[in-house]
Structure 1
Amino acid sequence: MTEVFDAPQIQTIRANGLEFAYYEAGQGPLVLLLHGFPDTALCWRQVVPRLAAAGFRAVAPFLRGYAPTDLAPDGDYSLPTLGLDLLALIEHFNKGEKAYVVGHDWGAPITQYAANLRPDRFEKIVVAAVPHLRRFLLSPSGAQLKRSHYIFKFQSPFWAESRLPANDFEWVVENLIRRWSPGWNFSLGDIEPIKANFREPARLKAALSYYRSLPGLLVNPSALKVAFSAVSVPTLAIYGTEDGAIGPEMFQKQQKRYRGPFELCEATGRGHFMQYEDPEWFADRVIEFFKA
């Protein structure tokens, strides 16, 4: 049965030129938790209290463009800028100390990019549901290319901005969420924050702009070097065996993309949104890795 937590108290801070909204719990070493698409920071609401109980200060920010964090005034949602957002958040909350970071979906490449840019700011990282970007972008399996069809569709505003909101976001729920985590018995409370964020057209465009920035990354040599470099920070990668967005085969044979300690963890029977499906299991894996 899904546990119910009170709505978290949302606070705001200024970092990298934007007002970032976040919620937190606990005291101790800092753990930042980055959400992905089509989520919001509320995806961590059952993980945050578990990390707090284990002796960490768990902070879940809403990424740029996701309400109530500011929209980017210049429309910049590129990976280099997202990486700088994370470094600015670490600086604000940790004042020069190293941080632990958990990134899911888009949060995973953001975490790895920032860790490559400034490895001295990270203690350990957990990346969930997305492999190393070099593996994902340069050597996808044939099956993965089919799974990633939505990324190509998202490049077109004529399709995405009209199709996604239709019928109360039926396409998002049925063609993304349900397919990506076929075993997740989600509730209205799980899905409503996602819909609420995307009901504002500017927020939907912002989230889609993460994907629309990928072609620019591929023609930016300096950014590409950072994104494709091997990660030196100790890393735990978690993948779901039933993930309909990124297949389990994409996580194999990627050890060479990590120069530091690397562990691969299989979330058996779980899909893309593993932190919703089994928050206790997910939090336990994170805590074990961070405390080892």
Structure 2
Amino acid sequence: MPSVRTATLDIAYEASGPEGGPVVVLLHGFPDDVRTWDGVAPKLARAGCRVLVPWLRGYGPTRFLDPATPRSGQQAALGADLLAFLDALDIRQASLAGYDWGGRAACIVAALWPQRVRALVSIGGYNIQDIAAAARPASAMAEYRYWYQWYFHTERGRFGLAQNRREICRLLWQLWSPNWRFDDPTFARTATSWDNPDFIDVVIQSYRHRYGAAPGDPALAPIEQRLALQPPITVPTIALEGAADGVAPPPQADPDAHRFTGPYRRRLVPVAGHFLPREAPDAVIDALLELGAAST
């Protein structure tokens, strides 16, 4: 398993496809890991892409280099990690695809450093958080679906995630992708990534920071300031949304279209839920190839 060292992390990743091929980076979300892309990466590699699939901070074999580095899961950290990953591997430009936390990282790099992004497949639409507006309550049903976020705001929730992480994460899989019938071995292959020693701290900080309930890493403040402006995404983009997403059901009308000022298309994927790369891998592959990810 290869890894690459940045200023903050030793990032483990999987690589496939020809070394000289156009680069595609696939980014997983919470609670998940690189296995979410097992139905996507091999076909892209056969199409001639150089496919890189990293474990995010706090997951799997990715590790912090310094015990003093804040174990932050804030959005600026995810975007900075992705940019540093590209820099460390001397990748000048890549196509990006991601969902949830990984989709957030991909959207951030596409918005703030568009010259580094050839094309974007953003699962879930515009994934950059509007932290300034986070205090406004959502609908009762949305607040109900976000129960785990409020749970993680409490110390009981921190202890609960530490003690029952597999039980909680399995429940989220079931709730968020109600039509997906995964088996025990599939779950077990990913669950080992949540044994990372920093998983709990990174997750808890992520869900508290996005509501202003936890401080961010001071080193990331300049990025957060830029993200607070809700920057547009100018690179060619296809947004995919699972029509059966149990945590964030997509509306028929596109609420994010004004955030994408370059070539842009949105597609609702029937039956699929939140874990769309696992449930409908061909939708991701088709979108990347349509955007020219395999073209030299």
Per the shorter chain, which TM-score range?
0.7 to 0.9
The separation in 2 between residues aligned to 1:100 and 1:251, in whole angstroms, is 26
Identify the residue that residue 148 of structure 1 maps to in structure 2: 146
Residues 1:117 and 2:112 are matched in the alignment: yes
Residues 1:51 and 2:49 are matched in the alignment: no
Q: How does 1:128-167 map to 2 (within 5 A)?
A: 128-129=123-124, 131-133=126-128, 142=139, 143-163=141-161, 165-166=163-164
Give the alignment's Cα RMSD to 1 decimal: 2.7
Identify which of 45, 53, 56 aligns with 1:60: 53
Residues 1:25 and 2:50 are matched in the alignment: no
Identify the residue that residue 3 of structure 1 maps to in structure 2: none
Structure 2 letter corresponding to 1:204: I
Identify the residue that residue 198 of structure 1 maps to in structure 2: 194
Identify the residue that residue 77 of structure 1 maps to in structure 2: 73
Identify which of 174, 179, 186 aligns with 1:183: 179
Q: Residues 226 and 171 from structure 1, CA distance in 2 versus in 1: closer, same or farther, beyond 3 angstroms?
A: closer
SS at match of 2:63: coil
Identify which of 248, 251, 254 aligns with 1:252: 254
SS at match of 1:77: coil
Displacement, 1:81?
A: 2.2
The separation in 2 between residues aligned to 1:84 and 1:130, in whole angstroms, is 20
The separation in 1 between residues aligned to 2:146 and 2:180, in whole angstroms, is 20
Identify the residue that residue 271 of structure 1 maps to in structure 2: 273
Identify the residue that residue 100 of structure 1 maps to in structure 2: 95
Structure 2 unpaired stretches of 5+: none
Give the share of equivalent positions with the same residue, in percent.
Answer: 29
Displacement, 1:34?
A: 0.8
SS at match of 1:91: helix
Displacement, 1:225?
A: 3.5
Greater CA drift, 218-227 or 52-61:
218-227
Identify the residue that residue 236 of structure 2 maps to in structure 1: 234
Residues 1:89 and 2:85 are matched in the alignment: yes
Identify the residue that residue 5 of structure 1 maps to in structure 2: none
Q: Residues 50 and 225 from structure 1, CA distance in 2 versus in 1: closer, same or farther, beyond 3 angstroms?
A: same
Contact 1:165/1:198 (<8 A) preserved: no
Contact 1:18/1:70 (<8 A) preserved: yes
The structure with higher relative contact order (CA 8 Å, sep 6+) is 2
The separation in 2 between residues aligned to 1:277 and 1:121, in whole angstroms, is 29
Aligned residues: 280
Task: Please give the TM-score of this superposition, normalised by the length of structure 1.
Answer: 0.85
Greater CA drift, 213-222 or 245-254:
213-222
1:156-209 Cα deviation digits (max 9, x unpaired): 23224325643x7223212x1101001111122321133223345642332333
Contact 2:17/2:51 (<8 A) preserved: yes
Residues 1:169 and 2:160 are matched in the alignment: no
Structure 1 letter corresponding to 2:224: A
The separation in 1 between residues aligned to 2:142 and 2:215, in whole angstroms, is 19
The separation in 2 between residues aligned to 1:19 and 1:163, in whole angstroms, is 24
Structure 1 letter corresponding to 2:166: F
Displacement, 1:104?
A: 1.1
Contact 2:112/2:231 (<8 A) preserved: no
Judging by fraction of residues, say which structure has more helix. Answer: 1
SS at match of 2:292: helix
The separation in 2 between residues aligned to 1:267 and 1:41, in whole angstroms, is 21
